[in-house]
Amino acid sequence: MEPDKDLIIIGAGPGGLAAAQYGARANLKVLVIEEMAPGGQALVIDDLENYPGVSGPVSGIDFCQVMEKQAHDFGAEFITATARSIKKENNTFHIETSKGSFSSYAVILSTGSKNKLLGIPGEKEFTGRGVSYCATCDGPFFKNKKILVVGGGDAACDEASYLSNLSDKIIMIHRRDRFRAQKALADRVLHNDNIEVRFNHILKEIKGTMKVSTVLFENTETGETYEEEVDAVFIFIGTMPQTALVPDLPKDEAGYVITNQRMETETKGLYAVGDVRATPFRQVVVAAGEGAVATHCASQHIDDIKGMSYI
């Protein structure tokens, strides 16, 4: 029996949306399954300033809405559902979701990644009550307040810069003596008068009653521990890939799905793109490019199955 769709895309971040647009434009029957709003982690971008050809203040939300519309206008179908499993029988994939099952010749996994937690006392307890993982979502609640940012990568530097527009009392700690972030983003933080950077610092505990009131720091150079009052703690210490649907696929040491340069995983017809894929550089533009490559290769695979290959 023929599957319902040619191509199913699981996850509608920039990688999945680009894949959907390319697939629908190539006349494939495309279904995108997303459990939240299309856009993924890109939705929290305040100003997408490094996507080639897009300039001026553009929020991640606006950018992703245009990507979704493009895919939709070319004919891609979207459903809001949670994908629960992927199984392959002969040339057909069967996807079980919270809204029923769907089948296709090819699947693109673009399930992205989730924020890592520090795992310290008080973190879980005060999440939503002063502890946050998204500056654009929660920053405005802490206008002119004393805000702590934890982390040293691109996300921490980007988000600290965003928060410095809301308050001039930002403390940023990082466990090493310099930032991991791209130089442009790190320099922006280091030259920002509203951000006080403390290197060689770790956060040991978050305290409060109804909401965050105090944190416990350790200066790892001196061994000194000390408490300080803060109103909010924003944590950006990296991400974890969402790979529960593909437990058996090969991953790198950090758990990201390994593909070849055609975005093919070890399972024929199953591709991975964006933040769930093992890649040296996680960017919106990279995810979108990977989505285009995956769909191009999936389309050739589908033509092979249908006996329509251009040889």
CB of 181 to ligand NAP, least distance (A): 7
Q: Which stretch binds ligand NAP (CB under 6 A): 9-17, 87-95, 133-141, 154-162?
A: 154-162
**Binding-site member from 110, 239, 242, 295 for ligand NAP (CB under 6 A):** 239
Q: Which runs of E-coded beta strand occur in 76-179?
A: 77-80, 83-89, 92-97, 100-109, 113-115, 131-132, 147-150, 170-173
Our finding on whether 136 is near ligand NAP (CB under 6 A) is no
Does residue 294 interact with ligand NAP by CB under 6 A?
Answer: no
If the CB atoms of residues 74 and 199 are measured against ligand NAP, the closer one turns out to be 199
Among this protein's residues, is 64 annotated catalytic? no
At closest approach, how far in Å is the CB of 84 from ligand NAP? 27
* Position 238 contacts ligand NAP (CB under 6 A): yes
Compute the radius of gyration of the chain from its Cα atoms: 21
Tokens representing residue 217 in the block: 């720091």
User: What's the rounded Cα separation, in Å, for the pair 159 and 149?
Assistant: 8
Looking at residue 200, the DSSP 8-state letter turns out to be S
297 is catalytic: no
Q: Does residue number 263 form part of the binding site for ligand NAP (CB under 6 A)?
A: no
Helix (H) or strand (E) run with residue 74 in it = helix 60-74
Token pair in block for residue 112: 């992205």
Pairing outcome for strands 131-132 and 83-89: unpaired
Indicate whether 180 belongs to the interface with ligand NAP (CB under 6 A): yes
Q: How many residues bind ligand NAP (CB under 6 A)?
A: 19
| Secondary structure (H, E, C), 222-270 | CCCEEEEECCEEEECCCEEECCCCCCCCCECCCCCECCCCCCECCCCCE
Find out whether 304 and 31 touch, Cβ atoms under 8 Å.
no
Which of 46, 22, 19 shows the shortest CA–CA distance to 234? 46
Please identify which residue in 112, 122, 151, 241 interacts with ligand NAP, judged by CB under 6 A: 151
The only residue of 17, 155, 163, 245 in contact with ligand NAP, by rule CB under 6 A: 155
The reply on whether position 42 binds ligand NAP by CB under 6 A is no
| Active-site pick, 4, 138, 303, 304 | 138
Candidate residues 46, 68, 158, 264; the one interacting with ligand NAP per rule CB under 6 A = 158
| Catalytic, out of 47, 62, 134, 303 | 134
Instruction: Cite the active site residues.
Output: 134, 137-138
* Residues at the site binding ligand NAP, with contacts judged by CB under 6 A: 50, 118, 151-156, 158, 175-176, 180, 236-239, 281-283
